Amino acid sequence: MKGRITSCPSCGAPVEFRNRGSWVAVCDFCQTAVGRGDKSPEDYGKVGDLVVTDSPFRRGTVGQYRNRSFEVTGRVQYQHPAGGTWDEWYLTFRDGKMGWLAEAQGKRYLTFRRQLKPQENLDLDKLEPGQHFRIRNQEFSVDEVGSAVALAAQGEIPWVFRPGADHRFADLSGSDGAYATIDADETGVSFYLGREVSLDDLQLESDDWQAERSPQLVPGVQLNCPHCGGQISLHAPDKTERVTCGNCSSLLDVSQGKLSFFKTVTAKKVHPKIPLGSEGAIDGTSYTVIGFMERFTTYHDKTYPWVEYLLYSTDKGFRWLVQSERHWTFVEPVATRDVEFQNRAASVNERRFKMYDRGHAIVRFVLGEFYWRVEIGEAVETVDYISPPHSLSVERSKTSSSEEFNVSFGTYMTPAEVESAFGLESAHLPIPWGVGPCQPPPELGYGVFLLWPVFIGLLWVTHLGFRQSDSFMMLFAMAAVSLFPIGVLFYKHNFEVQRWQDSDYSPYSSDDD
């Protein structure tokens, strides 16, 4: 393919545009973003410094996607409004086609730019998280709408990148890993369609990147608290955005393996039942407990607190273990595209959940490491649904420039299951209070319902067999035999009433209040 070499308007060094689709190239000598320009190159200003990440990609990395080879020719690093950065890599395929590879929180999405038909006009201002719509005969759901800052860049960039400019976007997900983004720059709205990919899908030529990882990003490295000098070690250094100091209770910002003071958290003596750093296995995956958080909601002027443990696995990423009223739930993320909302109900993969609760969850205490810029007082809107032994939680968070929508799927765990998963002594965890919202109902009783007609039948046979048997005695015996199943029914009903007692949506509540 024909390239073009021009000279940098800032320092005069040669700047190459190898790809015809490149709008901007970053000068390797003075870090100026150079616009291709119609006639002469334009100076778009200096780019920021790239934040070191744990990515296997670099400019020049060569690989293959679906038997077509590509080379990484450029990169833009964005600053997310909620803190944190993500990378977008630009792949140039042999035929000159460009691929957009986004890398965020351990996930990768490869998309290609698609022309929109006139009737498919997408208005970024009208999109809302949670909304579903069809485009290109595929069903998509909006996961996030926001605005990020394009800070740093390298190589050739296939859109009009201006350092420090706001970049508006929407992330969409569809079924079977389908993924799309919509973004807007000064040339208009663009649509990108593709899917989530794994490293195996991209067949990188060399995997020596492991050896070149920055030593600062190796898990377990010891850092010093900038406030008190105490030692802090990070379990997920390339993903952690905030960490607390166990010594002085400072909440610290983490950036490129460096710590800076953010604010002091009210010191209180909290000893999580599962200590930070504990390792455990759930469903065959090993996790390390890296964070602990207390959140609460208020209802009729009363405060209801609960705690959440943040679990980290190098393979699966982040999970939560939530403890409320001493009941435990293991929580995993769900793709919003898989969720359908109905009036006071939601379904995921044909499982129907009933609305249980809605409110606001507010953070009141944190300990350990977090993958976002957690703050005391941080609030999200929540809606909880149940379908025992599972739960579904929807959280909506807003910042001044973005709105995010997250859904997670919970599975009830008994204290004994949590104890055995984390190697805790038995009876280390307290006995739960009442009935948990997604606690499975007792299984006891089905045998009784099957045996009941058998007993009744036997009584009849006995009654008919002995002519002189008393009818009154017969009725008495039948009543006695029926008492137990009635008791079981009563117990099960009572269990369900208790499950719903804290909910405004209880199917058992009386209408007279």
Provide the binding-site residues for Zn ion, judged by CB under 5 A.
8, 10-11, 13, 27, 29-30, 32, 225, 227-228, 230, 245, 247-248, 250
CB of 30 to Zn ion, least distance (A): 3
Say if residues 393 and 408 touch (Cβ distance below 8 Å).
yes
Using the minimum distance from each CB to Zn ion, give the nearer residue, 5 or 11: 11
Say if residues 378 and 308 touch (Cβ distance below 8 Å).
no
- Is residue 416 classed as helix, strand or coil in its secondary structure? helix
Using the minimum distance from each CB to Zn ion, give the nearer residue, 10 or 402: 10
CB of 10 to Zn ion, least distance (A): 5
Using the minimum distance from each CB to Zn ion, give the nearer residue, 43 or 338: 43
CB of 55 to Zn ion, least distance (A): 25
Task: Give which of 338, 332, 299, 304 is closest to 318, Cα–Cα.
Answer: 332
Task: Give which of 339, 278, 343, 267 is closest to 311, Cα–Cα.
Answer: 278
CB of 264 to Zn ion, least distance (A): 9
Say if residues 508 and 357 touch (Cβ distance below 8 Å).
no
One-character DSSP codes across 228-259? T--EEE-SSTTT--EEE-TTT-EEEEEETTEE
Task: Give which of 170, 174, 172 is closest to 189, Cα–Cα.
Answer: 170
Using the minimum distance from each CB to Zn ion, give the nearer residue, 228 or 461: 228
Say if residues 32 and 9 touch (Cβ distance below 8 Å).
yes
Radius of gyration of the chain (CA): 29
CB of 11 to Zn ion, least distance (A): 3
Task: Give which of 156, 138, 31 is closest to 92, Cα–Cα.
Answer: 156
Using the minimum distance from each CB to Zn ion, give the nearer residue, 224 or 399: 224
How far apart, in Å, are the Cα atoms of 201 and each of 65, 187, 215, 366, 443?
6, 32, 27, 38, 45
DSSP state of 510: -
CB of 244 to Zn ion, least distance (A): 9
CB of 47 to Zn ion, least distance (A): 11
Using the minimum distance from each CB to Zn ion, give the nearer residue, 243 or 424: 243
245 by Cβ neighbours in 10 Å (0-12 / 13-18 / 19+) ranks as: buried
How far apart, in Å, are the Cα atoms of 25 and each of 47, 59, 221?
11, 13, 36
Task: Give which of 210, 176, 219, 182 is closest to 195, Cα–Cα.
Answer: 176
CB of 7 to Zn ion, least distance (A): 8
CB of 273 to Zn ion, least distance (A): 24
Using the minimum distance from each CB to Zn ion, give the nearer residue, 76 or 142: 76
Distance CA 455, CA 116 (A): 71
Using the minimum distance from each CB to Zn ion, give the nearer residue, 50 or 362: 50
DSSP state of 49: P
Helix axes 471-499, 446-465, angle to 10 degrees: 170
Using the minimum distance from each CB to Zn ion, give the nearer residue, 13 or 444: 13
CB of 256 to Zn ion, least distance (A): 19
Using the minimum distance from each CB to Zn ion, give the nearer residue, 13 or 450: 13
Quote the tokens at residue 368.
Answer: 């350990």
CB of 8 to Zn ion, least distance (A): 3
Distance CA 297, CA 362 (A): 6
Using the minimum distance from each CB to Zn ion, give the nearer residue, 30 or 124: 30
- Is residue 447 classed as helix, strand or coil in its secondary structure? helix
At residue 410, what is the residue type? Answer: G
Task: Give which of 363, 403, 357 is closest to 379, Cα–Cα.
Answer: 363
CB of 278 to Zn ion, least distance (A): 22
Cα angle 340, 346, 352 (rounded to 5 degrees) comes to 110
Using the minimum distance from each CB to Zn ion, give the nearer residue, 251 or 361: 251
CB of 247 to Zn ion, least distance (A): 4
Using the minimum distance from each CB to Zn ion, give the nearer residue, 227 or 337: 227
